Chain A
Amino acid sequence: MTEQETPLWEVFIRPRNGLAHRHVGSVHAADEVLALDAARDVYTRRGEGNSIWVVRSDAIAASDPDHADETFDPTADKIYRHPTFYEIPEDVGHM
């Protein structure tokens, strides 16, 4: 097909106030106005939310899954970051 490709947008929906927007999928649209319209039609046919964000897919930077081990390694081996690392006598009560 020789025609120009229509850009891809990632869609985020907030189910209700108090919750964060959550990724639900993507749509193709020429601009953000049409992307919001398409996202409403495709992803909110049954009261799934009260707010939509759309973001151009090519504007998202992502971590590399091939480097996931190095990237996320420090979270596992620093056990002193967790409350259970510290010993508090039971007599002290809930802390």
Chain B
Amino acid sequence: MYSQGLIGADGRTEESEAFLDAFQKRIDAEEKIEPKDAMPEGYRRTLIRQIGQHAHSEIVGMLPEGNWITRAPSLKRKAALLAKVQDEGGHGLYLYAAAETLGVSREQMTEELLSGKAKYSSIFNYPTLNWADMGAIGWLVDGAAIMNQIPLCRCSFGPYARAMIRVCKEESFHQRQGYEIMLTLCRGTAEQKQMAQDALDRLWWPALMMFGPHDADSAHSEQSMKWKIKRFSNDQLRQKFIDATVPQAEYLGLTVPDPDLRWDDSLNGGKGGYAHGDIDWDEFWRVVKGDGVMNRDRIKARKKAWDDGAWVREAALKHAEKRAMRKTQEAAE
């Protein structure tokens, strides 16, 4: 359950003004757009890209956690982690199916992921170094993803919205199991608590980056909001996440690794909120563009899975062919 602010959207479209106006009216009336409806090319392209990035993020997101399944500290943790990773795989599949309704094939999307053309959430290009990272990922990364995904349940494109409703329903266990891992560590020995702090130190900033660039630098965000693909801006969602998460860190007795973090009464229209320090956007772009610690490793793992599975796909298709042939022969006899 891992969307990130859309990277590199291209909302350009060339339809007539009358068509675009009529489409906008449907959107403004909160009518859902369904796959075979007429839609602007820019709307289709933006959605294919966004849903594709989202699906890839779920699939690649299985890797950092899969890394710890065999080393989970107890059977309970292992069973929970397995179920969570299986959910991520399922979420990826719902999303691929939603994207396919827009006329892109699964094979095409897979190829774009493996060739590096398609992006996925930058958070998965960070390594998972200790068991506490499983806690921090569930708590922070799934927490950030939930912030992003709840508004997507109301996305104007029907299949995406429906997939998101399923995903969000299944998701809340992910964040809770992560927080519970953190809580257990924080109530443990000083060394265990230090593991939790270390995981928070490493994952806090990358989690904030999951919401994507600042609104001012988010080129096509405005069009996405107008088409109601997005309901809140990157910065709005990031603020919500920080406001929700800081008290949770305090409960754990952990320190958020941001010396500039402070309560500010003027934020959120006077309701107050947490002001935060500067985000290192150079790092963000470096990781998005392929130079994170784990980028190569992740794609290598996906390529290996795809290549190793080739004989299975081939055999299954051959077997299906043979069965179909047998059926025709039997019918002829």
Contact = CB atoms under 8 A, between A and B. Distances in A.
Contacts of B324: 31
A84 interface: no
Chain B interface secondary structure, helix, strand, loop or mixed?
A: helix
Contacts of A31: 316, 319-320, 323-324
Contacts of A3: 107, 310, 313-314
B170 interface: yes
Interface string B291-329: 000000000000000000010011011011001100000
B87 A45 contact: yes
B38 A6 contact: no
A30 B312 CA distance: 10
A64 B36 contact: yes
Contacts of A20: none
B97 interface: yes
Interface residues of A, number: 24
Interface in A27-78: 27-31, 34, 41-43, 45-46, 62, 64-66
Contacts of A43: 90
B317 A6 contact: yes
Nearest to B313: A6
A32 to B, nearest CB: 9
Contact of B317 (A1, A4, A27, A64): A4
A8 B105 CA distance: 10
A46 to B, nearest CB: 7
Nearest to A31: B320
**B37, B87, B314, B320 — most chain A CB neighbours (10 Å):** B320
B97 A30 contact: no
Contacts of A66: 38
A27 to B, nearest CB: 7
B100 A26 contact: yes
A25 B317 contact: no
Contacts of A8: 100, 106
**B36, B86, B105, B317 — most chain A CB neighbours (10 Å):** B317
A5 interface: yes
Contacts of A30: 313, 316-317, 319-320
Interface string B59-100: 000000000000000000000000100110010011001101
A5 B106 contact: yes
A60 B331 CA distance: 24
B106 A28 contact: yes
**A8, A31, A46, A64 — most chain B CB neighbours (10 Å):** A31
A62 B93 contact: no
Given A6-B316, A25-B94, A42-B90, 10 more contacts: A3-B314, A25-B97, A25-B162, A30-B317, A34-B316, A34-B320, A45-B83, A45-B87, A46-B170, A62-B36
Interface of A: 1, 3-6, 8, 24-31, 34, 41-43, 45-46, 62, 64-66
Q: List the 7 shortest-distance A-B pairs measured between CB atoms, nearest first.
A: A30-B316, A31-B320, A30-B320, A26-B97, A30-B317, A1-B107, A65-B36
25 contacts: A1-B107, A4-B314, A5-B106, A6-B313, A8-B106, A25-B94, A25-B98, A26-B97, A26-B100, A28-B106, A29-B316, A30-B319, A30-B320, A31-B316, A31-B323, A34-B316, A34-B320, A42-B93, A45-B86, A45-B87, A45-B170, A46-B170, A64-B36, A65-B36, A66-B38
